[in-house]
Copies of this chain bind each other. A is one copy, B any other.
Amino acid sequence: MRLSELETPCLVLDREKLARNIAALHVRLRGLGVNLRPHGKTAKCIDAVRLALEGPSGGITVSTLKEAEYYFDHGIVDMIYAVGVAPVKLDRIAALIGRGAHLSVILDSMAQARLLAERARAHDLVIPALIELDCDGHRSGVVPDDPLLTEIGRFLHTQKHTALAGVLTHAGESYNCRSIEAIQALADTEREAAVKSAEALRRLGLPCPIVSVGSTPTANFARDLSGVTEVRAGVFMFYDLVMAGLGVCAADDIALSVLASVIGHQERKGWIITDAGWMALSRDRGTAFQAIDQGYGLVGDMTGRPLGDLIVTGVSQEHGIVAGRAGKPTPAPSLEVGAKVRIFPNHACATGAMHDRYQVVDGEDKVVAVWSRINGW
């Protein structure tokens, strides 16, 4: 099958760029002396994640138990489920550990630690947990100087059915940085939060084998990761317009796009209508607050080259409105009804989530593979 013959909308993945993006981060982190623990939440696809596991690896990260079960069924054993654990999920976690998965959970409260110990005891197994740290006020976690850190640590270590696996933090605010210098500074903060917390635990004689940090921006700009044992990142495999806007990648590094057909024109307005609406692109507007607002996606030709200033300026469920970036009509001579375009997404995780498979290309028009992906919980 040729790319140009595919039904639209569909999700296209450039394997050459994927491999290049993966290799680049591995080389970078090897230079800093830490392992990469790729996040399986962006691709949700064993074929892509296997590529990311080439080279030194400390296992993977997952964001749902469905991912954990899926990757485990495909032979990946070492996983961190990096969303604060909900009590209702503990039996399913225990079942997966019972089957042989080396699955760790994360938590940031004594309430979670107690419930974890209780359910692990009921299942008569040990569930390892990392303490989630808040390094940047972004979302969840214990701040490093909160006495709660060592209280949870001591509890996890001393209970028979839990184990203290380490500490973990995510500099989610890196997505909102305005400069490379700001990302570098946040990478320092992220490292310091993790290393300082690990030291606090170790001073009390508690173990802290894993010191885990990560976000795609900080992974790309951290200058020193001493004391850190692993970096987590997911978006780096595909990259996207938000990452390009941050300066973390070039637009040409983006491996993911949505293939769409032109289905109409509103000539008075300079609009081209395509069949890729929010159902195909997602509602993500991550570039809205960046220097260049890419609307709902940047429009390229079939080889992936941007078509001037064309972006997706509006979406409904199954319609996309394509127009010039400044809202000014853009002549689009070759975009007749039936012509196809490739739309590069704001946010690879969100656009990927709207699809159940990747049409894999190798930089050429030929589809070399179809990789399925999962969604749901």
Q: Which positions in A face B, CB cutoff 8 Å?
A: 5-10, 41, 63-64, 83-89, 92, 107-109, 111-112, 115, 134, 137, 139-140, 172, 261-266, 269, 273, 275, 278-280, 282-285, 314, 316-319, 321, 336-338, 340, 349-350, 353-356, 375-377
Q: In the bound complex, what is the Cα–Cα distance between A115 and B350 (angstroms)?
A: 34
Select A7's contact among B89, B265, B282, B316, beta carbons within 8 Å.
Answer: B89
Contact B139 A319 (CB under 8 A): yes
Contact status A111-B283, CB under 8 Å: no
Q: Is the CB of A83 within 8 A of B377?
A: no
CA of A163 to CA of B203 in the docked complex: distance in angstroms? 81
List chain B residues, Cβ under 8 A from A109: 264-265, 337
**Are A353 and B350 closer than 8 Å at their CB atoms?**
no
Question: Chain B residues with Cβ under 8 A from A261's Cβ?
Answer: 86-89
Cβ contacts under 8 Å, A275 to chain B: 83-84, 86
Q: A319-B139, A338-B88, A338-B111 are in contact. Are A263 and B9 (CB under 8 A)?
A: no
Q: Which residues of chain B come closer than 8 Å to A375, judged between CB atoms?
A: 279, 354, 356
What are the residues of chain B within 8 A of A317 when measuring CB–CB?
41, 63, 349-350
Residue on B nearest A356 in the bound complex, by CB:
B376
Selected from B63, B86, B376, the residue in CB contact (under 8 A) with A338 is B86
On whether the beta carbons of B353 and A87 are closer than 8 Å, the reply is no
CB nearest neighbor in B for A86: B261
Q: A84 to chain B: which residues have CB within 8 Å?
A: 263-264, 273, 275, 319
- Docked complex Cα distance between A173 and B315 (Å): 13
CB distance from A129 to the nearest CB of B (A): 13
Query: Can you report 21 A-B residue pairs in the complex whose CB atoms are below 8 A from each other?
Result: A5-B88, A6-B88, A7-B89, A41-B317, A41-B318, A83-B318, A85-B263, A87-B337, A87-B338, A88-B261, A111-B336, A112-B263, A112-B264, A139-B316, A140-B263, A140-B264, A140-B319, A283-B283, A285-B285, A317-B350, A354-B375
One of B6, B88, B266, B283 near A284 (C-beta < 8 A):
B283
Q: Which of B83, B111, B134, B285 contacts A337 (CB 8 A)?
A: B111
Which residue of chain B has the shortest Cβ distance to A338 in the bound complex? B87
Report the bound CA distance from A279 to B352 in whole Å.
11
- Known A-B contacts A7-B377, A279-B353, A337-B115; the reply to A139 vs B321 at CB < 8 A is yes
Known contacts A139-B321, A172-B316, A355 near B376 by CB under 8 Å: yes
The 9 closest A-B pairs by CB, nearest first: A283-B283, A87-B338, A86-B261, A84-B263, A111-B337, A83-B318, A63-B318, A84-B264, A86-B263
Distance, CA A319 to CA B139, complexed state (A): 8
- By the criterion CB–CB under 8 Å, are B140 and A86 in contact? no
Which chain B positions have C-beta within 8 A of A353? 279, 354
Q: Find chain B residues with CB under 8 A from A264 CB.
A: 84, 107-109, 112, 140
Whether A83 pairs with B285 at a CB distance below 8 angstroms is no
9 additional A-B pairs beyond A109-B264, A140-B266, A355-B376, beta carbons within 8 Å, are A41-B318, A64-B279, A64-B318, A84-B275, A111-B336, A112-B264, A137-B269, A139-B273, A285-B285
Asked if A8 meets B283 with Cβ closer than 8 Å, knowing A139-B273, A266-B134, A350-B278, the reply is no
